[in-house]
Structure 1
């Protein structure tokens, strides 16, 4: 639960532009420059130069693709979890589904906000990414599986929901592996780490419920 709370806090920070350093006018605030002393060579006087932060590196195409695909990936988790209140027999399943739904709604909003903050990176990545089709996203439930889930009730729903969600989470971990530590954007890298830690924990929780 602590990890899930951390994800929500991080996602809220993303949506607010805290991690991306956005100014009130939508730009990126740069830290102030400063004057530093550069020692001269023997016999030459010291010199001064203005030093300041370099412009942050633009998000990579892989990072843009990760965010673009994680949005519909999360959306399917919401679709599955929204079925639990009326169909699940186990209170543990309903509680888990509620946490997933609450947190991933926030993450989706944050990721959409991030994409809007980086239009140039999105434009450059266009054509190099797959476009977020279901076939490109590991762990996605098929239409037939979703139909079965909608028709299930009680313990049959619980088992099918947990089985599908474990596979869904494992797919998200595969997506994380493809982008984690392979990009430059602080926000996306933090999101990937949060997804990794929380979904690993939730997989363990779901396996415990199935075993119980």
Structure 2
């Protein structure tokens, strides 16, 4: 009896947007499932099964966009419809902006050893610096490989979410002791919230697995640090 394998692919989920790795996995699963069905048909009938639409391979049900019906695709059509992992504008824009975003965080953390009163604040600043410095290097390397020599411009960095203003940075440079601690925690909490928003956006709109991995790390790490900073305020 013909069989059908239904696989749901949500077009707006992060997982559905995973690039070449997901396409290879989907294609492999589809080929394996098709092979199993073909062998089963041969065993049942004692010979080659007649060709039919159902025995050509497992079907894949892909929900349509809002207001549109779902579509039933062949295994090959489903694999072909997945993105190929090539960086798109969202990936490149994210890396460009996040380099500047991280760089401002390092400006703020460099003030903590001399101006903070709290040992907790000093340790937090050290952890942020230790994490975001290498992340800047990783994103620069990714841009060199994927965006070429012209990757450094094109964005209004002051408009990025969470960025401290020049006035706020000046106030932080002048603050000392507990006043510094409070202002640092407030500014860095907002700064982290902006980074999480940017990372969440590229997870929905980007197409490259390396950027996805970097953005996922930002969401996980900085969300945890936001919780700690709120507890310290």
TM-score, normalised via structure 2 length: 0.63
In structure 1, what is the Cα distance between the partners aligned to 2:229 and 2:205? 29
Matched, 1:96 2:124: yes
Matched, 1:81 2:109: yes
| Counterpart pick for 1:107 among 135, 147, 150 | 135
Which residue of the partner structure matches residue 213 of structure 2? Answer: 190
Length, aligned pairs only? 165
TM-score, normalised via structure 1 length: 0.69
Which residue of the partner structure matches residue 132 of structure 1? Answer: 155
- Displacement of 1:58 in angstroms is 1.2
In structure 2, what is the Cα distance between the partners aligned to 1:132 and 1:84? 29
Give unmatched runs, 5+ long, in structure 2. 1-19, 21-34, 39-47, 52-78
Which residue of the partner structure matches residue 17 of structure 1? Answer: none
Which residue of the partner structure matches residue 168 of structure 1? Answer: 191
In structure 2, what is the Cα distance between the partners aligned to 1:146 and 1:169? 15
Q: Is this contact kept in 1: 2:158–2:165, CA < 8 A?
A: no
- Displacement of 1:134 in angstroms is 2.4
Q: Pick which of 171-180 and 85-94 moved more.
A: 171-180
Higher RCO (CA-CA < 8 Å; seq separation 6+)? 1
| Counterpart pick for 1:66 among 57, 73, 94 | 94
In structure 2, what is the Cα distance between the partners aligned to 1:74 and 1:119? 19
- Displacement of 1:56 in angstroms is 4.2
**SS across alignment from 2:86:** coil
**SS across alignment from 1:181:** helix
In structure 1, what is the Cα distance between the partners aligned to 2:216 and 2:119? 29
Give RMSD over aligned pairs: 3.1
In structure 1, what is the Cα distance between the partners aligned to 2:223 and 2:101? 16
Give unmatched runs, 5+ long, in structure 1. 1-19, 21-37, 44-52
In structure 1, what is the Cα distance between the partners aligned to 2:204 and 2:49? 39
In structure 1, what is the Cα distance between the partners aligned to 2:188 and 2:122? 13
Q: Is this contact kept in 2: 1:181–1:189, CA < 8 A?
A: no
- Displacement of 1:176 in angstroms is 1.4
**SS across alignment from 1:180:** helix
Matched, 1:147 2:170: yes
